[in-house]
Structure 1
Amino acid sequence: MTLAMATSSFSCPYICENEINWRLYLKQVGGTGPDHNQEQIFPPPESPKMFGKTVVNDWTIIDAPAPNAKVVGHAQGVHILSDLANVGWYSSLNIVFQGDRFNGSTLQVMGVLPPAGEWAIVGGTGELTLARGTIKHKIVGTAPDTNFPELDIHAFYLNSSINSIVERVSAQDR
């Protein structure tokens, strides 16, 4: 019954949602140096295409593709070489933001990692509750063992004031 009450007060999808358009950057550091932020965890059987290679990552998210850029979060997850024909990597990531308004909020992201492509935003937490949208990505810079993909994030998420209303209604129902 409480759900019906909450639903009637939430029949405002355009008023209750916020939209974000961000341009951020990943800093992907391979190799074995002290700054590397990805590690192979499962080597496949010997094959020229390395099908099944699995890598865990904690890529840094920064505000510019530069060495002194501000860190705004991390993309933590895995990528698996799963496309024999095109050498594409399936990626599943939790983007965890730090500092400022979105500190501790997350976006759950999945998709394919070719040099340029698009990921789906399939959820979010904190200030980004129930996020949905896309992230277009392309490599815009490189350095030794390092790629800088540009991330164009476009998403909708629930207004944080709606989250507190849902919590109050749930507490009253207990």
Structure 2
Amino acid sequence: MSNPTFYTNSAPHSIPPRQQQQEHQFKLYMSQIVEGTSGTNQLVVANNGRSDYFGITVAMDWVIRDDLGPKANIVAHAKGLHVGAGTPDWFTSFTIKFTHARFKDSTLMVQGIFGNSNIDVKGEWAIVGGTGQFAYAQGVVLYKQLSGLNGIVIRELEMHVLCPIFPKPSPVIKEGPWGGNGGTAYELPGWELPHRLQTVTVHGEGVIDSIAFTYVDEAGTKRSVGPFGGDGGVKNRPIILGPSETLREIYGTTGDYGGYTEVVTSLTVITSSNSVRTYGTQSNGKKTFRIAKDNHNIVGFYGRAGGFVDQIGAYLRPK
């Protein structure tokens, strides 16, 4: 749905270490019509008769529009209370409930102080929460009184709202695993799932001794994993993926080796730039496997490992 003319939003920006926030900005106009005026939208519900208004409690349903003038549209209501808190201050606590289709039934919770209309023409209120599209909101409302004649007070509102962006369910899927059940399991925790693979390091000669990798997770944090397996075999240099390079496919073999039953005996790694690296010894394997999926990239590994890599599977993410 397209944004209305009174609303703009910024690009998401990171809040270290994991959270992102979206900033929403509004420019709106709020109408307060006091008691005794035609069309009043507030009502005194408690009055102790004090001359300084202390303790007077007023229920309100102030109208909020997208502009000034007779053609302005009602986009929200400010529903709540304001209470006399000693001359000239009134404490207010209200919920802005949106009726405009773009934000319908979403709310913002606002609190603060304002003065008598002939004293306090500028000020600010705090945004202390929200629901719907503004869940867990925080921010500020800068208000400026434009008029206060004949019992009608018009305030211009400039609202700056920050809302956390909650991660969507991860599209990461798992393929495999292949190999035996020796060793101990290695797997990534669900809150650190990979977004992009950066390096892969495989050590091995007659068999795959160990595997390690680095990746960027869904929050943009770089993480190092492993090595999983033993410390034998040829110490190979890591595969370093370029900024736009991905891991497209791996295939390999499993078999018995050195008294171990069904371990990973070879791995061949193919990147999107058609770089091919082979590790271990294919002839030591009895079974073959292949990890590849259309329109997906390999972004990490899991499985089992002990003295060697006993088992391997992969995490894949849609391109």
Scaled by the length of structure 1, the TM-score of the pair is 0.79
Shift of 1:163: 7.4
Structure 2: state its 5+ residue gaps: 1-15, 170-189, 191-319
Structure in which a larger fraction of residues adopt helix: 1
**Cα 1:26/1:163, change in 2 over 3 Å:** farther
Name the structure 2 match of 1:68.
71
Name the structure 2 match of 1:137.
143
Tell me if structure 1 keeps the 8 A contact 2:57–2:81: yes
Shift of 1:152: 0.7
Q: Percent identity between the aligned chains? A: 32
> Aligned Cα RMSD in Å?
2.0
Name the structure 2 match of 1:82.
85
Structure in which a larger fraction of residues adopt strand: 2
Output the CA distance in 1 between the equivalents of 2:100 and 2:167: 20
Report the secondary structure of 1:31's partner residue.
Answer: coil
Q: 2:131 matched to 1:125?
A: yes
Shift of 1:69: 1.2
Shift of 1:33: 4.3
Deviates most, 54-63 or 23-32: 23-32
Deviates most, 32-41 or 20-29: 32-41
Tell me if structure 2 keeps the 8 A contact 1:65–1:141: no
Name the structure 2 match of 1:156.
162
The AA in structure 2 aligned to 1:18 is Q
Higher relative contact order (CA closer than 8 Å, sequence separation 6+): 1
Shift of 1:28: 0.7
Tell me if structure 2 keeps the 8 A contact 1:27–1:65: no
The AA in structure 1 aligned to 2:124 is E
TM-superposition CA deviations, 1:46-90 (whole Å, max 9, x none): 332121111000000101132331000000000001024xx1100
Number of matched residues? 150
Output the CA distance in 2 between the equivalents of 1:56 and 1:140: 22
Runs of 4+ deviating beyond 4 Å = none
1:41 to 17, 38, 45: 45
Shift of 1:143: 4.1
Output the CA distance in 1 between the equivalents of 2:168 and 2:97: 21
Larger radius of gyration: 2
Deviates most, 59-68 or 72-81: 59-68
Report the secondary structure of 2:36's partner residue.
Answer: coil
Structure 1: state its 5+ residue gaps: 1-9, 170-174
Output the CA distance in 1 between the equivalents of 2:168 and 2:51: 53
Output the CA distance in 2 between the equivalents of 1:63 and 1:157: 22
**Cα 1:113/1:100, change in 2 over 3 Å:** same
Shift of 1:142: 3.6
